[in-house]
Structure 1
Amino acid sequence: MDSIDQLLAQLQTEYKELQPQQQQPKSATAKSFIPPLPKSASFLDNLLAEVQADFAQKDAALELKRQQELEQERIRQEQLKAKQLEALKVQAKEWLAKVDPLSSEGLWFERFAESYSSKLEAAIEYLRSNE
């Protein structure tokens, strides 16, 4: 903001310098009309372009930071899901080791597991549904 304040002070100084020149008596003839100095207009244009570029740069930096944060959050979520899946695999292996294949639950599970590529995958799905 200091640079903007400095630019504003500079503009005010230039405006005050130009103002006494504009207050000089003007003649009624069209020949004496003096258009505003193009130098000050180009200065304002340059100043505006600088401010716009500064804001665009800050916006781009904020957008990049936001995208990086979103990507980090996505990676963190994927890692969390992977950990949860590993924990479920351990639970499923333990459950498979404990289940009696001749019990009603064991017989039901055998039929349930037929639609899965492995009993471990079926056990994981079964444990997920019971959570």
Structure 2
Amino acid sequence: MTHPAENDPIDSVLASLTNKYQQKSKPATKVENLADDLLADIESQFKQKKNNTHNPPPKTSGVDNALESLTQQLQTKHIPKKEISADDFEEIKRKELEEQRKAKAEARRKEELAKAEAQKKEELAKKAQLWLKNLDPNSDEGFWFSQFAMSYESKLQAAIDYLKALEN
């Protein structure tokens, strides 16, 4: 014999359990959705932080600010070449030519000094050779000179130094 579902106590218990289960499962679904949403939010925040740590914003320091300030000052003080007047150009050209003349004159002076020094050494070497030729090795001066020349590589070099000392 079959009973209608409303009258059967087993069916009513089964229906109430089904309702309770469905009510419990619905909030669980909401909780699962909330958990998924929270996880998605946390994941997006983590990705944003990760991107921010890989590309940190440039930090400006006092040195950077000072450098930028100096750069701006130099740019305002810098005169482009197009703005140089003809008078300024002539003045610059004149100064450069004067510096070139001075450099050439200094080079000529040094060259002349070197030539004069070389000529003086050559004359002194000739004098020393003549002096050595006329030196009597058996004289007191010859004996003294032979002792003096022992510390030199050659008698000629010793004679040159000796004659230099006599001139001064």
Under a length normalisation based on structure 2, what TM-score does the superposition of the two structures give?
0.49
Q: Distance in 2 between matches of 1:50 and 1:113?
A: 68
- What CA distance in whole angstroms lies between the structure 2 residues aligned with 1:49 and 1:101? 78
Q: Which has the higher contact order (CA 8 A, sep 6+)?
A: 1
Residue among 103, 114, 126 paired with 1:90:
126
Instruction: Tell me the amino acid that sits aligned with residue 82 of structure 1.
Output: A
Structure 2 residue runs without a partner (length 5+): 1-81
**Matched length:** 87
* Residue 100 of structure 2 corresponds to residue 64 of structure 1: yes
Q: Which amino acid is the alignment partner of residue 110 of structure 1?
A: S
- For 1:68-100, what per-residue CA distance to the aligned partner results, in whole angstroms no more than 9, with x for missing partners? 001001101110111111111111001001111
**Which residue of structure 2 lines up, in the alignment, with residue 15 of structure 1?**
none
The one-letter amino acid paired with 2:98 is L
Listed as ranges, the matches of 1:1-131 within 5 Å are 49-131=85-167
**After TM superposition, where is structure 1 displaced by more than 2 Å over at least 4 residues in a row?**
46-50
Percent of counterpart pairs with the same letter? 31
- Match of 1:130, SS state, is helix
Q: Which has the larger radius of gyration?
A: 2
TM-score by length of 1: 0.62
RMSD of equivalent CA atoms: 1.7
